[in-house]
Amino acid sequence: MHAEPITLAELDVDGAIREAADSVAGDSRADFLRKTALAGGGLVGGGALLGTLAADAKAGTRITRRDVAILNFALTLEFLEAEFYTRAERGGALSGRTLEFARIVGAHERAHVAFLKKALGQNAVKKPRFNFRGTTQSQRAFQATAQTLEETGVKAYKGQAPRINADAVLVAAAKIHSVEARHAAWIRHIRGVSPAPNAFDPPATMAQILRAVAATGFIVRSGGAGGPALTGRA
């Protein structure tokens, strides 16, 4: 893994980050460009979603362009987690409780991906390519990485909750957030550390999450035109 700063020019090879910055209402465009690496390709005027979330949205809780950007942010993280567990399950390095954890949590993360893709419909970003840099090939490395990813997911959903406009989107995010928290507690228990060390957990901003994920180098390129430009170096 590398922790070198990644510049906007390196990440935004197809202009997708600038497109996202223009579409996320309520944020400072300059601050967004400086701090984040979210690609928001495929956002449509009015921000209306296809599928179940649009059907569930009530009057006064319109699904906005920012809601779509937040759901695509969540989908990118879920793609990352789902692929990590899928490769670990198939890699043959896991055993016992850790293998059981990977199988169950992997199924959850793949279900999250399917749910978010269905909700976003044609507005969903494409799946990136990944390089997990050996972390799925060792049980110890897998455990440490799984804890980091799950705790990152918990902070990410918590950080975006106050920014969501539509009730239907907030309910959907809350359903996933609580499961991610259970995953984090489970892997902490497997590793022999306290499952719940604090009475309160801080959220993390989109910028903080994107910087952390980009620094791992796990996402090596975008998923194609309009897909996430959240990348490390191959």
CATH number belonging to the domain at 8-221, selected among 1.20.1260.10, 2.70.40.10, 1.20.120.160, 3.40.50.720: 1.20.1260.10
Most confident of 56-65, 67-76, 94-103, 161-170: 94-103
Whether the CB-CB separation of 117 and 68 falls below 8 Å is answered with no
* pLDDT in the model for residue 215: 87
Q: Is the pLDDT of residue 60 over 50?
A: no
* pLDDT in the model for residue 36: 34
* pLDDT in the model for residue 117: 94
State the number of CA atoms in the 13 A half-sphere of 174 facing the CB. Answer: 10
CA distances from 191 to 27, 100, 140, 195 (A): 39, 14, 9, 9
Q: Is the pLDDT of residue 96 over 90?
A: yes
Q: How far is CA 126 from the centre of its chain?
A: 13
Mean pLDDT within 86-112: 98
State pTM to two decimals.
Answer: 0.75
| DSSP codes joined into one string, 115-132 | HHHHHHGGGPPPP-EE--
Count of CB atoms situated within 10 Å of the CB of 198: 7
Task: Name the band, by pLDDT with cuts 50, 70 and 90, for residue 54.
Answer: low
Task: Name the band, by pLDDT with cuts 50, 70 and 90, for residue 42.
Answer: very low
Distance CA 38, CA 193 (A): 32
Distance CA 48, CA 40 (A): 14
Cβ neighbours of residue 69 under 8 Å, at least 6 residues apart? 20, 23, 24, 38, 40, 43
Q: What are phi and psi of 11, to 5 degrees?
A: -85, -40
Mean pLDDT within 15-31: 40
Extract the tokens encoding 15: 């202009």
| DSSP codes joined into one string, 80-107 | HHHHHHHHHHHHS---HHHHHHHHHHHH
Question: In which element (H, E) is residue 73 found?
Answer: helix 65-91
Q: Spell out the SS3 assignment of 173-189.
A: HHHHHHHHHHHHHHHHH
* pLDDT in the model for residue 62: 81
Task: Name the band, by pLDDT with cuts 50, 70 and 90, for residue 220.
Answer: confident
Least confident stretch, 3-7, 51-55, 88-92, 114-118? 3-7
Task: Name the band, by pLDDT with cuts 50, 70 and 90, for residue 85.
Answer: very high
Question: In which element (H, E) is residue 221 found?
Answer: strand 219-221
Cβ neighbours of residue 66 under 8 Å, at least 6 residues apart? 23, 24, 25, 26, 27, 47, 163, 164, 165
Task: Name the band, by pLDDT with cuts 50, 70 and 90, for residue 53.
Answer: low
